[in-house]
Amino acid sequence: MKPPPFAYHDPRATHEAVALLGSLENAKLLAGGQSLMPMLNMRYVLPDHVIDLNRIEELSYIRERNGAIEIGAMTRHRDIEFSDLLKVRCPLMHEAIRQVGHRQTRNRGTLGGSLCHLDPAAELVAVAAALDATISVAGKNGTRNVAFADFPAAYMTPAIELDELVTGATFPCWPAGHGYAFAEFARRHGDFAIVSAAVLIEEDGGGKVMRAAVTLGGMGAAPLRATALERTLIGEKIEQGRLRELCEPLRRLEAVDDIHAPASYRQHLATVLARRALIQAHARIVERTVP
């Protein structure tokens, strides 16, 4: 098995990559290679040019600025997994990343690659939706920011132009003491989830929800924010019986039917996983407040 012939470019700076993208026809960006390389090996993609981003050091960083975490597009999953900053400031991402592929996948895979490949069930894509991330995009006219809600254009298709590249993403942090949980169901460890639920909650001193974000991955072409549930959770106390009622409408969300699972199964998973993740997120708040 062998990729089709292509010309290979390995720029050292982002502006060089942008210039190449703007001047070459039928070019593909190579990030961690965990999706593009299989597609090249199987000749699902036939680019005339491969622009390898792995030697652009400026695209690899994790830093905090203005209450948000900024991560470079070429930051590897491994670096996200072992980042102490993310563990403290973005624990949802820390929990989700450990469910991305296997050790070998995470040693090479990158944030930008996951976001642009935009698999509907990808963990980092769900995290970006949950945290209302902003995606930074560079093109010939400079850089622009895209709210994650506007980032998926279609199935596995980001809303960026052919001559643009994602340089990084900004993830606003939730306040210290918030509850979080990432729950997914996959057939085998390391597989893409059939459905995943990413939950963030803040509670007041009396244990009532003040703010909630409930994100479901794997239901459709892009992660789905369960906005109706997020609204009804406000003022509620997280409690098993009540959650059963509150999560029940998730069973009526639209879901895809495919070889992995029928829509009804995904709807059931959404209902169950959202509830479990909410309970775990709440338990984490309680754990921290009980001395």
Of 170-189, which residues contact another protein (CB under 8 A)? Answer: 188-189
Please pick, from the candidates 8, 65, 206, 287, the single residue that binds another protein as defined by CB under 8 A. 8
102 forms part of the interface with another protein (CB under 8 A): yes
CB of 1 or CB of 176, closer to another protein: 1
Binding string, residues 239-268; x marks residues near another protein by CB under 8 A: ------------------------------
CA angle 206, 207, 211 (to 5 degrees): 115
Binding string, residues 45-84; x marks residues near another protein by CB under 8 A: -----x-x-x-----------------------x------
Residue 151 CA to residue 124 CA, distance in Å, equals 13
CB of 59 or CB of 201, closer to another protein: 59
Spatial neighbors of 174 by CB under 8 A, at least 6 apart, are: 131, 180, 200, 202
Please pick, from the candidates 12, 43, 103, 187, the single residue that binds another protein as defined by CB under 8 A. 103
Least distance CB 248 / another protein (angstroms): 34
Please pick, from the candidates 13, 15, 26, 41, the single residue that binds another protein as defined by CB under 8 A. 41
What is the full DSSP assignment across 16-56?
Answer: HHHHHHHH-SSEEEESS-TTHHHHHHTTS---SEEEE-TT-
* Residue spans of beta strands (DSSP E) within 148-208: 152-154, 157-158, 165-172, 179-185, 195-203
* Alpha carbon 37 to its chain's center: 20
- Here the tokens at position 132 are 């209302």
Q: How distant, in Å, are the alpha carbons of 131, 262, 283 from that of 89?
A: 12, 37, 18
CB of 172 or CB of 190, closer to another protein: 190
190 forms part of the interface with another protein (CB under 8 A): yes
Least distance CB 291 / another protein (angstroms): 29
Residue 149 CA to residue 141 CA, distance in Å, equals 23
Nearest to 73 by CA among 140, 158, 154: 158
> What is the contact surface with another protein in residues (CB under 8 A)?
1-8, 10, 33-34, 37-38, 40-42, 50, 52, 54, 78, 101-105, 107-108, 188-190
